[in-house]
Amino acid sequence: MSSVTPDPGALATATAPAIRLRGLRKTFGDVVAVDSVDLDIADGEFLTLLGPSGSGKTTVLRMIAGFELPTAGVIELAGTDVSQLPPFQRDVNTVFQDYALFPHLSVQDNVEYGLKVKKVGKEERRRRADEALAAVRLDTYGNRKPSEMSGGQRQRVALARALVNRPKVLLLDEPLGALDLKLREQMQVELKAIQRDVGITFVFVTHDQEEALTMSDRIAVFNAGSIEQVGTAADVYEHPATEFVAGFVGTSNLLRGDAALTVLGLQGVFSVRPEKIRIVPVGETAGEGEHSASGTVAEVVYVGDATRFVVDLDAGGSLVALQQNTHSTSSDVAKLRGSRVLLVWRREHEYRVEG
């Protein structure tokens, strides 16, 4: 398979990160959209900005692209300060959710369009468009019209249209948001594979934590304009740094206050992931290196391959425990509602989080 490679002239500054954000801030009137964001994104990295709606993800992306100027702070691309440069002087391209393709043009002409505007010659236009279409696995679709393609294929044409410019950095703002779940999951895997092939730095925005966990080399978790935590999927999932991250990435499962004191003998807020918790009959005891809490099963939610048990703890509060349905059916697990149980987990699976 052919690939779209970044401009080799950029190798001179290869030691600097692809993107460096320092003290980045943006206000709109009284609204602080982005506040003191520091982030380094490595060359060739797939980095996701993850956070709820309104947390400042799009504004960060638009500042990297140059569509918004920062109120304060610095944006460097490959070691060069671009904070005040217009979009066309930055080596980045953006793919949006509403990938407006020209309906009257063929796929090939859609992909070539930007190059034509830049007065790139016909032969080279064709060659680079072929290359970009191959990278998104649409090599045989050049003659089709957008209306003759599926949503996922149209999204890949939009991606090819960005790749054809051979940007050092590709910015993607919720590009899969318009697709239905099955297609979105398929495209997540495809997009990650394409990124690996072309080796371009991707900054990907989503509010969907599963999407972020599936695709990213690293995730920056946003809350109210600031980054709460940056790390690999495993880092942010298994070691959430704050209560917000524990709740936003995965199921919030916290022990706090009196419950933390009674169950763990510790003061503070602690996170235990649901799949790390075992449910055993009362009367059994926790083993070496384990903690346990007794309680009553308040809710049983059968989700096919697994069951979620919400257990009200005698010590106060509640915890969710996720159990695989390897040996049980939906009627087996339904019977457990209202019963007394003991929850057991290994101590290394409980993490102190910032309250």
272 and 321 Cβ atoms separated by less than 8 Å: no
From the CB of 46, what's the least distance to ligand ADP, in Å?
Answer: 19
Nearer CB in complex with ligand ADP: 28/102? 28
**Measured distance CA(270)–CA(272) in Å, rounded:** 7
> Of all helices (H) and strands (E), which one includes residue 254?
strand 254-256
- Classified as helix, coil or strand, 26 is strand
In the complex, minimum distance from the CB of residue 57 to Mg ion, in angstroms, rounded to a whole number: 5
Segment near ligand ADP (CB under 6 A); pick from 52-60, 143-151, 190-198, 268-276: 52-60
Cα–Cα distances in angstroms (integers) from residue 294 to residues 76, 263, 282, 313, 339, in the given order: 53, 9, 7, 6, 11
- CB 247 to ligand ADP: min, Å: 17
Q: Does 47 bind ligand ADP (CB under 6 A)?
A: no
Among positions 234-263, residues that touch ligand ADP (CB under 6 A) are none
b/e burial code for range 25-50 (CB count within 10 A of at least 16 → b): bbeeeeebbbbebebebebbbbbbbb
Distant-in-sequence, close-in-space partners of 334: CB < 8 Å, separation ≥ 6: 300, 302
Of 28, 124, 193, 266, the residue at the interface with ligand ADP (CB under 6 A) is 28
Taking CB under 6 A as the rule, does residue 53 contact ligand ADP? Answer: yes
Does residue 59 bind ligand ADP (CB under 6 A)? yes
Nearer to Mg ion by C-beta: 58 or 223? 58
Rounded to 10 deg, the angle between the 151-163 and 181-198 helix axes is: 20
Q: How many residues bind ligand ADP (CB under 6 A)?
A: 11
Select the residue interacting with ligand ADP from 31, 280, 282, 298 (CB under 6 A).
Answer: 31
- Residue 56 makes contact with ligand ADP by CB under 6 A: yes
Nearer of residues 34 and 246 to Mg ion, judged by Cβ: 34
> What is the sign, positive or negative, of the torsion defined by CA atoms of 105, 154, 67, 200?
negative
Does residue 58 interact with ligand ADP by CB under 6 A? yes
What minimum distance in Å lies between the beta carbon of 55 and ligand ADP? Answer: 4
Residue 291 binds to ligand ADP (criterion: CB under 6 A) = no
At position 147, the amino acid (one-letter code) is S
Contact region for ligand ADP (CB under 6 A) — 26-34, 93-101, 261-269, 285-293?
A: 26-34
Q: Is 57 an interacting residue with respect to ligand ADP (CB under 6 A)?
A: yes
| Closer Cβ to ligand ADP, 58 or 209, answer by number | 58
Contact 342, 294 (CB under 8 A): yes
Q: State yes or no: residue 33 binds ligand ADP (CB under 6 A).
A: yes
Q: For residue 5, give the DSSP letter.
A: P
Sign of torsion over alpha carbons 76, 79, 82, 87: negative
> Would you say 58 or 216 has its CB closer to Mg ion?
58
- Residue 55 as a binder of ligand ADP (CB under 6 A): the answer is yes
- Interaction of residue 216 with Mg ion, rule CB under 5 A: no
Q: Coil, helix or strand for 103?
A: coil
- Distance of CA 28 to CAs 23, 35, 223, Å? 17, 12, 17
Q: 54 contacts which partner out of ligand ADP, Mg ion, none, CB within 5 to 8 A by kind? A: ligand ADP
Residue 63 CA to residue 198 CA, distance in Å, equals 24
Q: Is 54 in the site for ligand ADP (CB under 6 A)?
A: yes
Binds Mg ion by CB under 5 A, chosen from 19, 35, 43, 58: 58
Between 58 and 93, name the residue whose CB sits nearer to Mg ion: 58
Of 54 and 257, nearer to ligand ADP (C-beta) is 54
Q: Taking Cα atoms as reference points, which of 272, 346, 284, 342 lies closest to residue 311? A: 342
Do 107 and 133 touch, CB atoms closer than 8 A?
A: yes
Residue numbers at the binding site for Mg ion (CB under 5 A): 58
Residue numbers at the binding site for ligand ADP (CB under 6 A): 28, 31, 33, 51, 53-59
